Structures are given as structure tokens and as C-alpha cells.
Structure 1
Amino acid sequence: MFLFSKMRTTLAVAAFLASSTSILAAPVKGGGFLGLNKASGNETTKTYSAVFSKEEDPTEFYQADHIDKLLPSCVSNAHCHVNKAFAACTFDATQDCSEAVNSMTEISTMNEALEVRTYATLTGSPWGLQRVSSNTAVAGSSQDQSFTYTFDSTGNLGQGVDIYIIDTGVRTSHAVFSQGGVARASLGFSAVDGETQDGDGHGTHVAGTCAGAKFGISQNANIIAVKALDDTGSGSSTAVLSALNYVMQQHTAKKAKSGFKGSVINMSLGLGGRSSSLEEALKSVNDAGVHVAVAAGNDATDACTSSPSALGGSNSAVVSVGAMNIDNEVASFSNIGKCVDVYAPGEQVLSSWNTGDTIINFLSGTSMASPHVAGMMAYFIGQDPTQFGQSPTALKAHILSTAVSGAVSGSVGGGNSLLLNNGASGSSKRLVKNYVVPGQDFSVHSTDSPVRL
């Protein structure tokens, strides 16, 4: 499993004492390795994720309660997922056993665990809403809260669009997610045993930028919390695959109903390297019509070197997002390169926080840039669900075409120099200035920690 946490680069694997065995049979399509047995107790096992060969509809070829039977008997702790986008299993195995699994004709790709991390650092304000709705630079202090958010009211700021926040959870009771007594945020799924709330704050902040009143791009969209990272900000590839499976099941069920507009995923997290299994599963979900925005990463390096940001650029319809500051400069920490599609506000971003229903906080990171794009996806889907609702390719092209070219200064590593923009250009049908939640006064969370990793 790939372990997810904040900005660490250590390799993490789940190690267990097990034992070795020899491979006694070659893989047979649909038959697994019947001759393999569990080892005797001397060899270390590790955790792996495997994606099965892509079928037109995996649910017609594989069954969730039987797919683990395709795996050899030497594996343990197998957990499998089957949906209309992908079929995958995570399991523990010895080296010999993992090689046997990897050679099966049913397996498309397989990986050992790496660390996954959220992309955020502390300090930071909602200047970003003005920056993404104007062709001109933003003047003033990033700590100010009197900027102007200009938008086209067609589509009612993403109303009816579902945004899935795969993260540390969301404080769904926060004031920014409830207008007129109507709650727009809900807990959809938790892959973390015993945890349903956001004990970290990262996911709540991200959700606020996507769709919170005052702070969000699409202030009427639905927020669905999908908790894949625990309250320390860490998680595993098994949890992320479970999260993607949940989103795909929800998308499949909802798109068949009248009034459905679209599904968006925000993933403000990343690995300390590449995972072909995670990338294949995510790309399959994206190909099935779910829009995906991902953080480019905070290592000031090539975004193509880590997952899921490597799916950006020409590699898929996933949108990989770099961070910039109020001076239109690429943030010093932001990953760059040809896998970064667009840059968005990522320094000193103000949004909702997890310690109270009226608490807000400043964060910096590509984690803060990505939800600007996820919110923008919902914004454009709300305007034209027929054209964009289930076409990530068309929506990505639209996002790139409305972005301001050449507006970002600093090295982009040979990639795009595009700044996210909603196409309003400061003169649209409806103007909202310093929009606040009626009857609410917000308090800024204070911290003694200057940098969050």
C-alpha cells in the first residue's frame, strides 16, 4: 500500500513476519495459483496493490466477493474492489508470492507501498477568488478579505454538482457549508477504521476552497467527505483505492437519475514516487466520466515524478495543479514541469477549519491550489452540464482555454504558464464583493507552528 501523509518522502511498507514458499504452478486465466501455499514463518511480507486487466465493464467480468479467489493462496489480508471503472486488490505477500501475482495474466499492474502525503504548509487569505476571476493582477495584502469575486450566475455556482473530497475528512457542520438552513456537506465514506471526523483540518480547508460560502469557487455545490487519511494526515493506498471505489459506485448510481449534473474529485495528496496501480485506477475513474483535480506537489521539482500528479499534462484528462502567490509568481515550493496543467492560488489561502463551526485558517501549498480547480470544474459543469457533466476531456480543454496565458512568472520547467480563470474577466453578470455568511462572525485559528509538513 502507498502510505499517505503530509510532505514526507520516506518509503513506507507494511512489514509482517511470514514465510516463503516456492512457486508450484503457472498462472491460469481465471484460475489463480492453486499450487502456492502460505509460507512457514521466516520471510518478511509486504503490502501490495494490484489492478486487474481492464475490461469494458469490470463488473461484468469480475465479482467483488470472488475476485480474491483469483489470487494465489500464499497472499493474506486481501481486500478487493470491483466497480465499472476498475477491479483491484490490496494484499500482503512475500517476495516470491508477489512475483507470482505480478506474473498472472489477469494482473495489469502491481506496486509495493510508498508514502502518500497531503500538500500543505501553514500561514496565509481569500485573495484567490479575485485572482481566478480577473485578467489583471491582484493589488493589496493577501491578509485582506475585501477582494471581489466576479462570476457568471448561470449555473448558480455549481448547484447540484457533487465534489468528493478524498482527504482527512470534512467538518460538515461548519457554517460555510450551510446556507438558509440547508446543509450541503455530508460524510460519504471513511476508509479509516474508527474515524469519521476531520481531526487534522486539511480536508475541511480544502472543502471550503472548493465550495464554502465566502471562500469557495462553487459556493452552492455539494461536498461529500471521503476520508482516506487519518487524523495525523497519513493513510495508505488501500484506503485510497477504497475511496475511489466508493466514488465510482456513487457516480454510477447517481448518473442514472434525473437531474444529475456531474461528479468531481479533489485529491490534495500525493506519493513519494510513482504508482502505476494507483494511476491506472484513477485514470479509469476519470475515463468513466468523473472529473479529477490533483495537487502537483510541494517538492519544487518535476511533477511528472510522483503520483497522481504525473497524470497531468497530455497523459490524461486529470488536471494537475501548481501553486502561485499574490504576486503571480510560481510558489517556491510548487512542483513544475509538463505534468502541471495550470497554476492557481496556493499561498496564504484562507478557508474553513476543523476546530469549530466558525473557525477559519490560513494554509499554503499545492493542496490549496488544487481545490480552486476542483471548484472551477463544478462551476463550469453547473453552467453547462450537457457539454461538461460527464466529459473530463472537454472540461479540461475548457479550463485550459479560459486560463490566462503567460500570467505566471518564474520557472515552469518547460510546462504551461497558465493561471486558472473562470472567464468572467471582472465584468460578468453578477458581482459579489466580500461575500460573507449571513449572521456569522469568523475567528482565525492561531498556531505556533510556522510551517506545516
Structure 2
Amino acid sequence: MKVAVVAASLLPLAANVANAIYIPTDPEMLAQLSRLENGNRIPVPAVPVAQAPVDTPVAPKMPLAPFATSEHAKKNLVEDSYIIIFNDNVDEALISQHLVWLGDAHAEAVSALHKRDSQHPFLMAEGEEALATGGLKHVYNIPTGLKGYAGRFLPETIEAIRTHSSIVKYVEHDSRVFASEFATEKDAPWGLARISHKRPLSLSTFNKYLYDDDGGEGVTSYVIDTGTNIDHVDFGGRASWGKTIPSGDSDSDGNGHGTHCSGTIAGEKYGVAKKASIVAVKVLRSNGSGTMSDVLKGVEWAASAHIAAVKANKKGFKGSTANMSLGGGKSPSLDLAVNAAVKAGIHFAVAAGNDNADACNYSPAAAADAVTVGASDISDVRAYFSNYGKCVDIFGPGVNIQSTYIGSKYAVATLSGTSMASPHVAGILSYFLSLQPASDSEYAVAGAVTPAQLKKNLISYSTSGILEDIPADTPNKLIFNGAGGNITDFWSHGAAAAAAASSDAEQSFRISEELKHISEDVGGFLDGIRERLLKGVNY
């Protein structure tokens, strides 16, 4: 029969269609179809198709890649902007395929939106460049732990990206970050003196900085901030422009925040490590704010520059440090980027934040491998604005700190904030890194000292238990540079040696000061006698 031939030809098709839409095949139903040849009617199944017996397994759906945006960051979201992080084991070929797919998916979503509403705000803000790049803004690749990208995408594109959970680790909504500055108008340059004395400052020590004048030599410090006034006289030609990340922004510091931090790290007058070199990495605009995605790109650029410097093996190169005196809500992507940069060999200092809150809720303060820095004042009290908690590693001077500024090559300003405390630590990391033992020393480590080793020594060598208003879960540690003495002990014996080194150095300093006062007193006495003799006055 004609009907029988047609029905028989439909059997494989029916099975294929059933499998294609994940409907299980029912042997009894197929048997009934085959009996069409005998003119039998096909009965309606007593059970709905969705409940048919399962003979062929249904392919499981992949779970969606999660969103990883913190509650704190949600206060400062950048509309339609996202950061996508890949799983650790994803290779370059898969990433390339994904980005090709992304370009097509983005173009399709934008085209559909244009047909629905050609005046939609997304289209009004979407420039030709963004359309040409498939929505992409940045692609990230720090070999030691960060692969991903950022861009501006429609919600349907983001949902499609999330279905690629076999390679996508998570999606994070891009957010705004801000310089961690707390402005003040007072003028009291005391911070350098404080980090070179174990005891609280006094009238004779508050403006005396004790240091090794070779500190910082051979070290490059990347200041990831608003830029740096590289022509300032205090840098003595040791500052250079590295990279401007925000699109369309100038290679200059229009804010001053980055210049101030740079001066504290390596200024000739205001700096901790006076011979270090500064490289400006601009991630924040002139208003002191920027996006998390731009900050990630700045961290990646610094890590790549450091890796290139290590490979170049230039004579005299001692290593790299970085300072990031900025912050926003908790961002796993930024923490991941900072930790990856540290694993690449950069010694990283980050500000704890200025909200008098738990630093673990902020990024990059929560980055475990960096040195997270809280702020203290001249009286050795935690600054009232400084964040705290177990994510803080150490404290540094952060109230009324004078340093370099913008406006001229001689400009200075006095600012307060954990932004000012962090570069003290970046400076001291640069200082110790440059003074690490020679390779033939008994205290030398294999190769250059690692960030983990230096961080451990820095904390061990610090002044302990001296700060007030420190919560129970917060380390009571204030940075110390060794008081300009022999810091061989820094590399070998830790805290006990630091106390001894400080005691010796400060005792020498006090003796020197006492001799100076005696000399002044004797000089004054002799001048008095001379004056009386000239006037003919007898004793």
C-alpha cells in the first residue's frame, strides 16, 4: 500500500525528530505506526508525550555561569558594562572561538534592538568603535592567573554568555572605583620620620627620617592611579609615563592623587625609597573615579611590563613594586588580577579604604596576596576613617601627609587617607627590595626575594602593639624601615632583630642629638664670654 510505504519511511524520521527535541522514543508507539500497513488506526497515547517512558537519556543542561557582583559594588554599577572571567584551564583556542562567537552574538542582539527601538539608550551610547569590536572593551591575559574580557553588552547577550559555563567562570557587573583620598588642609610632613622610629615621635624626632640613601635603586614602582606629574622636580627624572587606560584621556595627571602617591613612594624629599623609578599607569580620570574594568587592564599592563623587564634582565634591575590607592565594592575580578600580578613577581601595596568598615568587603583591599594598608596618625592612633579587619596586613602614616602635587613642577599638597598610607608601604617594599642581600651573601634567597617572602618579613619587622583603637581582629602592626641601620637582620631574624636594630639606630641618633645640643650650648656659652670680653665686662 501507498500509505504503508509512507509510514515505513517515516519511522526513522520520527525517531530522529523525537531525539532531536529530547522526546524519548516509545517502542509501542513505533510498533503501532508499523501496523499502518494492515490498515490499523493509530490510537491516541493514553500518556502525554512528556511523560512517555524514557529509553534514550536526555542531555543534561549546563548550569549558567554565576553573577559575582557584591552588594557594595551594586551602589556604583556602570550600566550595561560587564567583566567576564574564564575558567583557569581554558586554552587560547577556546577563548578565540568564544570571542568570535561573542562578536556575532553582540551584532545580532544590537541589530534586533535597532529594529525594535532605534532610539534605545543602549544604541545612543554605543559608538561605531564599540560596534566594530563586538562590544569588547578589554581582553585580559595575565599568565599567572587572569583570563577574561570586559565590554558593553545587552542583557540577552550576557545571558547567552552565561550559558558558556564550561569556559566562563563568572560574570561581574562593571562598577565605579574611586581614589581612596580623605582631603585635609593641614601641613605636617611627619610620615617618613614615623616609619624610621620604633618609639612614638617626640619633638626631637618628629621631622627626622633615618634611611639608607641607596634605598630604591634598581626598583621600578608602578603607580596605578590618576597618573603622575612626571616633570616634578622631586622625581629628578626618575618618573616616566607608562600607559593611559581610560579611552580618550590624556597622558597627564589632572587630579593630583597619583602624583601625591608617587612622591611618597620615591620623591627625593617626600619619598621613602628616594632612588626608585616611578611608572605612571593611569586608570582613573581627572575626577578621581574610573571603572573596575579599566583598573583590571591597568593591573594587567603593569604585570606585563614587569614580566618584560625580568626577561630583559637589565643590569641593576632589582624588581618591581606597585601601588593602588583606590577602591570600590568587593570585586572578585580585581582581587584575582592583583593576586595574579603578585604571582608574576610584583610586590603590591593596596589601600584598605576610608569607610571605617571591614576591609574584606572592598577591593582590592581583600586581595590576599597584596599588602593591604590601613592608616594611622601622628599620635599612633588608627585614623578614624581607616578600614580595619583581618584583611588589613599593616598600618602606615595616613593623616596630614605632605607630598608632590600637580599645577607646577614644584607643587606640593597635604592629604589624608589610606591612599596616603599605602604608598608608604609601596615605598618601603621598594626600599627593602633594592637593599636585598647580594647573591653571594649568606642571607640571600634563591633568585630575587618573592612578594610572599618580602611581605612576611615586612610584617615581622614592623612595630607591634603600639597603635590605639585597633579592633581585636585587626593586626596591630606599624611599618618600620630599620632606621637606616644595618638591615641584614631584616632578612634573617625578623621582629626581635628589628627591635635591636631600632634600638641601636635610635641610640646613635639620640647620642648625636645630645652632642649637637652640647655643642650648641658650649658654643653659646663661648659666644657669651667673647661678647662680654669685647664689651670689657669681667666675670
Q: TM-score, normalising length from structure 2?
A: 0.66
- In structure 1, the partner of 2:226 is 168
> In terms of mean alpha carbon deviation, does 399-408 or 234-243 score higher?
234-243
CA shift for structure 1 position 106: 1.5
Residues 374/67 of structure 1: CA separation in 2 closer, same or farther (3 Å cut): farther
Q: Distance in 1 between matches of 2:102 and 2:472?
A: 42
- Whichever residue aligns with residue 138 of structure 1, its letter is L
The counterpart of 1:130, out of the listed 193, 197, 203, is 193
The counterpart of 2:254, out of the listed 171, 194, 199, is 199
Task: Tell me the secondary structure at the aligned position of residue 305 of structure 2.
Answer: helix
RMSD: 2.7
The counterpart of 1:359, out of the listed 397, 405, 411, is 411
5+ residue gaps, structure 2, are: 1-67, 107-133, 438-443, 484-501, 513-539
- In structure 2, the partner of 1:151 is 211
Q: Distance in 2 between matches of 1:225 and 1:305?
A: 27
- In structure 1, the partner of 2:428 is 376
Q: Which structure dedicates a bigger proportion of its chain to helix? A: 2
Question: Can you list the C-alpha shifts for 1:263-319, whole angstroms capped at 9, x where unaligned?
Answer: 111000001x211112112211111211110000000010011111012xxxx2211
CA shift for structure 1 position 163: 0.3
The counterpart of 1:185, out of the listed 217, 239, 242, is 239
- In structure 2, the partner of 1:274 is 330
Structure 2 counterparts to residues 228-307 of structure 1, below 5 A: 228-258=283-313, 259=315, 260-271=317-328, 273-307=329-363
Question: Can you list the C-alpha shifts for 1:423-450, whole angstroms capped at 9, x where unaligned?
Answer: 232755998x9xxxxxxxxxxxxxxxxx
Q: Which structure dedicates a bigger proportion of its chain to strand? A: 1
CA shift for structure 1 position 80: 1.0
- In structure 2, the partner of 1:310 is 366
The structure, 1 or 2, with the larger RCO (C-alpha pairs under 8 Å, 6+ apart) is: 1
Task: Tell me the secondary structure at the aligned position of residue 410 of structure 1.
Answer: coil
- 8 Å contact kept, 1:62–1:87: no
- 8 Å contact kept, 1:228–1:235: yes
5+ residue gaps, structure 1, are: 16-45, 434-453
Q: Distance in 2 between matches of 1:223 and 1:366?
A: 20
Is 1:329 matched with 2:381? yes
Q: TM-score, normalising length from structure 1?
A: 0.78
Structure 2 counterparts to residues 53-92 of structure 1, below 5 A: 53-55=87-89, 61=92, 68-69=99-100, 71=102, 73-75=104-106, 76-78=134-136, 79-85=138-144, 86-92=146-152
Q: Distance in 2 between matches of 1:13 and 1:95?
A: 14
Q: Distance in 2 between matches of 1:201 and 1:348?
A: 15
- 8 Å contact kept, 1:174–1:356: yes
The counterpart of 1:212, out of the listed 267, 270, 283, is 267
- 8 Å contact kept, 2:300–2:337: no
Structure (1 or 2) with the larger CA radius of gyration: 2
Structure 2 counterparts to residues 432-451 of structure 1, below 5 A: none
- In structure 1, the partner of 2:182 is 121
- Whichever residue aligns with residue 213 of structure 1, its letter is E
CA shift for structure 1 position 335: 0.3
Question: Can you list the C-alpha shifts for 1:29-56, whole angstroms capped at 9, x where unaligned?
Answer: xxxxxxxxxxxxxxxxx1111122225x
- 8 Å contact kept, 1:82–1:245: yes
Residues 64/132 of structure 1: CA separation in 2 closer, same or farther (3 Å cut): farther
- 8 Å contact kept, 1:166–1:265: yes
- 8 Å contact kept, 2:142–2:340: no
Task: Tell me the secondary structure at the aligned position of residue 299 of structure 1.
Answer: coil
- 8 Å contact kept, 2:194–2:206: no
- Whichever residue aligns with residue 466 of structure 2, its letter is A
- In structure 2, the partner of 1:109 is 170
CA shift for structure 1 position 321: 0.3
CA shift for structure 1 position 65: 7.3
Residues 310/413 of structure 1: CA separation in 2 closer, same or farther (3 Å cut): farther
Q: Percent identity?
A: 34
Q: Distance in 2 between matches of 1:244 and 1:174?
A: 24
Q: Distance in 2 between matches of 1:374 and 1:334?
A: 18
Residues 358/275 of structure 1: CA separation in 2 closer, same or farther (3 Å cut): same
Q: How many residues align?
A: 380
